[in-house]
Chain A
Amino acid sequence: MIRIELLTPNGHLFSSDTYNKLFTMHGVVMIFFFLIPSIPAVLGNFFLPLMIGARDLAFPRINLLSWYLLVIGGLFAIFAMLAGGVDTGWTFYTPYSTTYSNTWVIATALGIFVAGFSSILTGLNFIVTIHRMRAPGMTWFRMPLFVWAHYATSLIQVLGTPVLAVTLVLIFCERVFHIGIFDPALGGDPVLFQHLFWFYSHPAVYIMILPAMGVISELISVYSRKPIFGYSFVAFSSVAIAVLGFLVWGHHLFVSTQSFFAGMVFSFLSYFVAIPSAIKVFNWTATLYKGSISFETPMLYAFGFIGLFTIGGLTGLFLACLGIDVHVTDTYFVVAHFHYIMVGGAIMGYLGGLHYWWPKMTGRMYPEGWAKLSALVIFLGFNLTFFPQFILGYLGMPRRYHTYPSEFQVLHVLSTAGASVLAVGYIIPVIYFIWSLRYGAVASSNPWGATGLEWRTPSPPPVQNFEKIPVVTHDAYDYSTTIGEVIEVG
């Protein structure tokens, strides 16, 4: 819808107000209710206990509570945005969100606030489970990297999300009780909001991308039949990303009233956070070296992830550079950058993981041919959608406008065409996944010949996960003993 509107320079379909509400809804729903919970809630809750040989998470009831909170918060926020609409953008920048906007800001923020608790509880549950419930022999450095990534993610969720909650409460206080927090007329500072907001929202990017990185580590290892190169570096880089991620929020304030010196510090720290990400990418490629690679669908997504994430990450370095950032702030360059990370990274990881573990979750195989086709369509559609946006942004097209000078039309048309291709790419898996639930071939307990504990129990796993709690005697990804061996579990 948004892309269709941008087909023509003048914007015939919607008014500016409607367009503002639309992109706010797109941002809020995608970030808070899809990207942040997707991998931890779907794949993490299911496989984290399986992968460390536990029968369930440490607090199953808290897990259920966090699910209810997510659904309640999500439905509430979506209802508020449909019924009243919100036009602040997903970032809720003050003073617009506190003083000027007449839309349903508080209701939407409340929905996000409630869903935030879901995120905190999930993080708490994962941390306790990983600390206390590992199977005998499952030492910290035998844990699959998916688990390490989720451990790092959980730290961010537990430590970062309360800051967002507080920020939203402060907005509420200012809007309702006129307490001066962000409004200078009342003694506040609007830039304070940007500090608080990005203190959560930059780490939140890592809440989205770290689990995807964990998935990719699994996929690369399985489909090249090799242990991950530099296992402990990859494991610690997850934790390093979680820690450093908290120290870079100032790079969103290069054009706000932040001193130049602070800008330099944050710029430097932002370059720094690229190091652990690069460690991962290089170690993945090193894993591929001399591996016996097979190009199953999940592996295609893993390759897609590496390519797109690298582009997203490198353009992030452009943005961390003070001089360039001032030029491209709030342009399509930024839009393209974070879509490469969040869609090209997080969603590719999510789809890869979903395909990889689908046989384990449902006991059915998906149709391989269609799956490969859709992986290809998604990759092409994605690049066609977002690559032109880098150029648009560099040429000066600002984000969040639905009208633009006519010389930008070609690139906008390309981008819209790409979005249509991308949509088709997303619809195909939905169809064949539903189809496979009934008609897919029955999956064996270990269709990929992988080493993880989750493959040593029937597909789908019994209620208690394992007949008998396994004893771990090998490192993760030890393919020296299990090549070609398919463990059948009755």
Chain B
Amino acid sequence: MTQHIDSVKTYALVFIALVFLTLLTTAVAYVDLGPFSPVVALAIATAKMLLVALFFMHVRHSTQLTRLVVTGGLLWLAILIFLTLADFGTRGWLGVPGR
């Protein structure tokens, strides 16, 4: 298996991008976007997550199998959140106590 090593320059650029995105998050917090506030905040967070996973955690240069495991893990988290909300978020819909 070949080991790809990114240059220091790449890492520095990613780091700067992350700092910039953090500042952006803070800046956006002062602007009232109404219902779009969480959407924008989460979009920025996702971008940062992808940067960290792809570059710092080397997913960009790893095997198909590793990528499968990474996407599988994320998908799984989404499923669990959905199932939890399917229960927790819908209690009281029918007005039966305890359900």
Q: Is the CB of A257 within 8 A of B79?
A: no
| B30 interface contact, C-beta 8 A | no
Chain B proximity of A479: nearest CB distance (Å): 33
A262 touches B83 (CB 8 A): yes
CB distance from B95 to the nearest CB of A (A): 11
Report B-chain residues with C-beta under 8 Å of the C-beta of A169. Answer: none
Q: Specify which chain A residues have a CB less than 8 angstroms from the CB of B87 in the assembled complex.
A: 250, 258-259, 261-262
Can you list 28 pairs linking A and B with CB atoms under 8 Å apart? Answer: A247-B79, A247-B83, A250-B83, A250-B87, A257-B98, A257-B99, A258-B99, A259-B86, A259-B88, A259-B90, A259-B91, A259-B92, A259-B93, A260-B90, A260-B93, A260-B94, A260-B96, A260-B99, A261-B86, A261-B87, A261-B90, A261-B93, A262-B83, A262-B86, A262-B87, A262-B90, A265-B83, A265-B86
Question: A262's closest neighbor in chain B, by CB?
Answer: B87
Give the B interface residue count (CB, 8 A): 13
A-B Cβ contacts below 8 A, count: 31
Looking at the assembled complex, report how far the CB atom of B64 sits from the nearest CB atom of chain A, in whole angstroms.
13
Fill in one digit per residue for B65-99: 1 if any A CB lies within 8 Å of its CB, else 0: 00000000000000100010011101111101011
Q: How many residues of chain A get a CB closer than 8 Å to chain B's CBs?
A: 9
Q: How far is the CA of A259 from the CA of B98 in the complex (A)?
A: 8
CA distance A260 to B86 in the complex (A): 9
Closest chain B CB from A78 CB (angstroms) = 35
Q: With contacts A259-B88, A262-B90 known, what are 4 further pairs, Cβ within 8 A?
A: A259-B86, A259-B90, A260-B93, A262-B87
User: Which residues of A are in contact with B by a Cβ distance under 8 Å?
Assistant: 247, 250, 257-262, 265
Q: Distance (Å) between the CB of B77 and the closest chain A CB?
A: 13
Please give, as numbers and ranges, the residues of chain B lying within 8 Å of A261 by CB-CB distance: 86-87, 90, 93
| Interfacial chain A residues near B93, Cβ < 8 Å | 259-261
Residues of A within 8 A of B83 (CB): 247, 250, 262, 265
Most buried by B among A250, A262, A265: A262
Residues of B within 8 A of A259 (CB): 86-88, 90-93, 99
Q: Which of A250, A257, A259, A265 has the most CB of B within 10 A?
A: A259
Interface-centre pick from B90, B92, B96 (highest chain A CB count, 10 A): B90
Residue of B nearest to A261 (CB): B90
- Least CB distance from A290 to B in Å reads 38
In the assembled complex, the Cα of A261 lies from the Cα of B83 at a distance in Å of 10
* Beta-carbon nearest neighbor of A131 in chain B: B65
CA distance A265 to B79 in the complex (A): 12
In the complex, chain A residues whose CB is within 8 Å of the CB of B90: 259-262
| Chain B, Cβ-Cβ closest to A249 | B83
For residue B99, which residues in chain A have a CB less than 8 angstroms away from its CB?
257-260
State how many angstroms separate the Cβ of B98 from the closest Cβ of chain A. Answer: 5
Point out the residues of chain A lying under 8 angstroms from B86, CB to CB.
259, 261-262, 265
Instruction: Provide the bound-state CA to CA distance between A265 and B96, in Å.
Output: 18
For residue A265, which residues in chain B have a CB less than 8 angstroms away from its CB? Answer: 83, 86
Residues in A whose Cβ lies below 8 Å from that of B92 = 259
Chain A to chain B: the 5 pairs with minimum beta-carbon distance, closest first: A262-B87, A261-B90, A259-B90, A259-B91, A262-B86
Whose C-beta in chain A lies nearest to the C-beta of B94? A260
Residue of B nearest to A265 (CB): B86
- Separation in Å of the A440 CB from the closest CB of chain B? 45
Q: How far is the CB of B2 from chain A (nearest CB, A)?
A: 18
Please indicate the chain B residues that have their CB under 8 angstroms from the CB of A258 in the complex.
87, 99
Bound-state CA distance A421–B99 (Å) is 45
Q: How far is the CB of B92 from chain A (nearest CB, A)?
A: 8
CA distance A240 to B1 in the complex (A): 30
Residue of B79, B92, B96, B99 with most chain A CB atoms under a 10 A cut-off: B99
Tell me how far the C-beta of B43 lies from the nearest C-beta in chain A, rounded to whole angstroms: 27
Chain B, range 33-69, C-beta contacts under 8 Å to A: none
A258 CA / B83 CA spacing, docked (Å): 11
| Candidate in B87, B90, B98 with the most chain A CB atoms within 10 angstroms | B87
Contacts of A247 in B (CB 8 A): 79, 83
* Separation of A260 and B92 alpha carbons in the complex (Å): 9
Residues of A within 8 A of B88 (CB): 259
Q: CA separation between A260 and B96, bound complex, in Å? A: 9
* B residues less than 8 Å from A260 (CB atoms): 90, 93-94, 96, 99
Residues from chain A with a CB closer than 8 A to the CB of B94 are 260
> B96: nearest residue on chain A (CB-CB)?
A260
CA distance A261 to B94 in the complex (A): 9
> A257–B79 Cα gap in the complex (Å)?
20
Q: How far is the CB of B72 from the nearest CB of chain A, in Å?
A: 9
By beta carbon, the residue of chain A nearest B90 is: A261
Bound Cα distance A258, B96 (Å)? 11
Tell me, in angstroms, the Cα distance from A259 to B85 when the chains sit together.
Answer: 10
Considering the chains assembled together, what is the distance between the CA atoms of A259 and B87 in angstroms?
A: 5
Question: Who on chain B is nearest to A199 by CB?
Answer: B80
Could you tell me the distance in whole angstroms from the C-beta of B19 to the nearest C-beta in chain A?
Answer: 36
Report B80 CB to chain A, min CB distance, Å: 9
Q: How far is the CA of A420 from the CA of B87 in the complex (A)?
A: 45
A259 CA to B91 CA in the complex, in Å? 5
Minimum C-beta distance from A375 to chain B (A) = 41
